[in-house]
Amino acid sequence: MFQCIIQRCLFCCLIITIFFNPIPLLAQSPLAMGSAEIYQQLRQLQVLGSVLYIGAHPDDENNSLLPYLAKEKKYRTAYLSLTRGDGGQNLIGPEQGIELGLIRTQELLAARRIDGAEQYFSSAYEFGFSKSANETLRYWNKQKVLADMVWVIRKFQPDIIINRFPPDARAGHAHHTASAMLSIEAFKAAADATQFPEQLKEGVTIWQAKRLLWNTFNFGGANTTSDTQLKIDAGVYNPIIGKNYGELGGEARSMHKSQGEGRPRRKGQIYEYFATIAGDSAKNSLMDGIVTDWNRIPNEGAALALAIQAIIDHYQFDHSEKSVEALVKLYHQFQNISFIGSWWYQKKKEIEDLIIACAGVFIEATTDTEYAVSGEKLTVNFFLNKRTDVNLQLDRILLNTSGEQSYDTILNKATPANTNWLLSESFTVPLKTSYSQPYWFAKPMADIGTFNVTDYGLIGNAESDPAFVAKFVFSMNEISWTITRPVQYKYVDPVRGELHQPLIVIAPMVISLDKQVLLAKVSNTGKSNTSITPLLLQFKSNFTVPAIPIKISLKDGEQYLFSKDTLMDLNAGSIYPYTFDMNQILENKTASNISAEISYEGNGKKYAAVHYLKAIKYDHIPAIHYFYKDNTIVVNDLIKTVSKKLAYIIGAGDLVPEALAQLGYTVDYLKEADITPEKLSKYQAVMVGIRAYNIHEWLTNKNDVLNQYISKGGHLIVQYLKTNQVGNKKVKVGPYAFSITNTRITEENAPVNMLNPSHPFLNYPNKISDNDFKGWVQERSTYQMEPVAAPYNAVLSMNDTGEKQTEGSLITAQYGKGNFTYISMTLFRQLPAGVTGAYRLLANIIALKPHP
């Protein structure tokens, strides 16, 4: 039903092969543990229990339960989100589709750093709101997503699995329902050697979790809890942390900033309820009948438990270094046990980290540049400070690139107390080093609802491995161990202070076009306009070379529209523009999907730069980068406009202003101080961005001023609201009673009925027909106005299959000499996708005339 929105073509490149990594590396600054956290981790050494929590989206997780499980019960805890939230809405910026999925991935990882859980994903793409679980499973490729879930279960080996949702309509969203349906199947399939047997050749074994539970809930108007269900208080206070788990949950939940999910730090009791779906019933605790300590390791577990308990009993909060020698002895004891399994690897890493933490060792590997360029020099700074007098020795440092060793040095160096030690090494980035790219973008999507991920070293992982990994080899009492750190870009921001960001491997040259959509025929006279907006190419050189021959080309698919040979002096970091005269290039020809290419020679080889490096940066998450082929969609249909002076009020972030510029309008942006009668009188129409009323309380406070503007002949065009609230206050929108509901049309090809065929929205200056509603993406409309009553007029009606007609997607009303319009049709998705009908309809809405 939904058409996947992939903003431009994904760059198909080689991706670093990685193993299932429970701790995301890229987003972490190398901060040392405090004494209280060390004590928490020491106690966690005694726990060998694990929980896998499953939902459909980022922000589906129970943010109070996860820290309770991870930090109170000290179970190894993970959240498996089937999607990355790609099809949702964005409260903080214009990113949609795959870009929003990248943001929400990092928001989940930020939440996990607070609550102590791990994060995994399947290859399912969130294609938009769905009302049918069967439809969801069809678009997701049920067998592929099920196989991913089975792989995660077999790799993680949870003792219990907990579903966020039930497998029925009570889940509230078909993705939610589908996640529960798949989890029930995966619970059984993971233990069945005949299910996905190819996985058993990749280092995993079958795994049967003890039970599958449903974490019932009381929200969204549905109370699915019962006194007959297992009940636990997840709101208990942890004096070591100084918070209860409702407080931690509020902090973690508030990392979902793109979804406007800021939450209070809840205190007091928080009861969670659980119903057993499959496996042994849980009556007294989640782990009924499961051994969660060292007794699950036969013969050798008891001795390890005694050794760990002795370290805990003798731990000194003000002298954590006094535990180092005992931890090293424990590490040696641990290395010599005969049991090797998932818990051996997990606890081995925990001990290694604890030795370094107790010794007060700070280590990092950083660069002074954000980008590593293939074939160019890169300097890495290896830094160490051991802030106690523990007798540790740094034996060796290695640097791995794309899984291969790039640097190795033998040191055998004593580490004086609280002394900074720095080693800087420069090397040439190998030409074969893979460019940094989210691994799920490596191949074109397998289908509309599934990323094409087939490498078992990648399936389930939250993110790609860092491009470069430093290994620090330490020893004490002839016992050695290795600590890894990602090589990161380190810098000092004048406002935020010292920051660490991912180090990104890039191509020697990247290019970009300045338009996502190019309108080839725009006219405000009814005649085809011969003047097409120029297309600007910018290419950035990441290397320095004099007098290099370069060919600049513009293509439509594989057909060359234009090419030019030139000789240029390139300097690293410089950006070079080139403007294409599209009137000349497209004279007597049409194009549909334009791309640019820069061809050049270097290192004795020929290269073609065709990809753009996109950076997404917000303060609450690490910087995000990805490559894609920067295409421009060409709309060849005639679009008529009426010249008007417009203003725009930015909302939650969208690309509508760019579309208005393409239509030939000059657009001014208004802020709170601009909402005055004098300022507004300059504009014939004022358009309000998506969800603006839900984030700007001043729009409600200025409603009378806006109504006065309408009454004097202005046209206020409001794009969709998500709720009727702004904070704790009811929004005021327009001159008459106004409210919206959750009614949405999720079938992008749902039939559209013209309720008033003679209405100007459907006739002037463009005659709207059924053809204008073809090719829409993801959905028709969202959060419609209801009920629609006089003096409002509904222009269109539509419905999803099997549902009643709704009329609140496009409504308008006269007020004085002017007009008020509310449009919940998803222009913010259609315009960047180059949907002709969306441009024509928008032009008509803007063209609405005032009344005498």
Between β-strands 237-238 and 218-219, what pairing exists: parallel, antiparallel or unpaired? unpaired
- Judged against a pLDDT cut of 60, whether residue 835 lies above it is answered with yes
| Helix or strand holding residue 145 (H, E) | helix 142-156
Say how many CA atoms lie within 13 Å of 648 toward its Cβ.
21
Arithmetic mean of pLDDT over the chain: 92
504 — pLDDT class (breaks 50, 70, 90): very high
Taking the C-alpha atoms of residue 796 and residue 493, their distance in angstroms, rounded to an integer, is 51
CA distances from 244 to 50, 253, 269 (A): 21, 14, 9
Residue 742 pLDDT > 50: yes
Residue 530, pLDDT above cutoff 70: no
Q: Is the pLDDT of residue 117 over 90?
A: yes
Amino acid sitting at position 449: G
Q: Residue 57 pLDDT more than 60?
A: yes
The string of pLDDT tens digits covering residues 214-255 is 999 998 778 999 999 999 999 999 999 999 999 999 999 999
Q: What is the largest CA-CA distance in the chain?
A: 93
Model pLDDT for residues 457-480, shown as the tens digit of each residue: 999 999 999 999 999 999 999 999
Residue 14 has pLDDT above 60, yes or no: no
Which tokens hold the place of 723? 């709720």
Read off the pLDDT of each residue in 518-545 and give the average, rounded to a whole number: 83
Mean pLDDT of 681-686: 97
- Judged against a pLDDT cut of 80, whether residue 503 lies above it is answered with yes
Quote the pLDDT of residue 16: 28
- The structure tokens listed for 236 are 């208990």
Residue-level pLDDT at 24? 40
Q: Which residue has the tokens 């678009």?
A: 139
Mean local confidence (pLDDT), 137-150 = 96
Tens digits of residue pLDDT in 272-327: 999 999 999 999 999 999 999 999 999 899 999 999 999 999 999 999 999 999 99
Residues 257-272, mean pLDDT to the nearest whole number: 94
**Closest by Cα among 252, 265, 255 to 116:** 252
How much of the chain, in percent, has pLDDT values that exceed 90?
Answer: 84
Contact by Cβ (8 Å): 652, 813: no
178 CB-near residues (< 8 Å, 6+ apart): 56, 82, 133, 136, 137, 140
CA atoms of 619 and 613, how far apart (whole Å): 20
Among 374-388, 600-614, 622-636, 683-697, which stretch is predicted with the lowest mean pLDDT? 600-614
Amino acid present at 466 = P
Burial 331-348 (b: 16+ CB within 10 A, else e): beebeeeeeeebbeeebe
Question: What pLDDT, on a 0 to 100 scale, did the predictor assign at position 2?
Answer: 35
561, 613 Cβ separation under 8 angstroms = no
* Preceding amide of 502 cis, omega within 30: no
Distance of alpha carbon 65 from alpha carbon 55, whole angstroms: 13
| pLDDT at residue 84 greater than cutoff 90 | yes
Mean pLDDT computed over 537-547: 91
Average pLDDT over residues 188-200: 98
pLDDT at position 31 over 50:
yes
DSSP helix/strand/coil, 599: strand
Q: State both tokens at 804.
A: 């009643």
| Parallel, antiparallel or unpaired: strands 160-163 and 50-55 | parallel
With cut-offs at 50, 70 and 90, classify the pLDDT of residue 23: very low
- Mean pLDDT across 784-809: 95
Cα(621)–Cα(496) distance, integer angstroms: 13
- 35-39, 242-246, 443-447, 481-485: least confidently modelled range: 443-447
pLDDT at 400: 83
More reliable by pLDDT, 279 or 408? 279
Confidence of residue 728 (pLDDT cuts 50, 70, 90): confident
- In the chain, the amino acid numbered 349 is K
Name the percent of the chain lying above pLDDT 70: 95
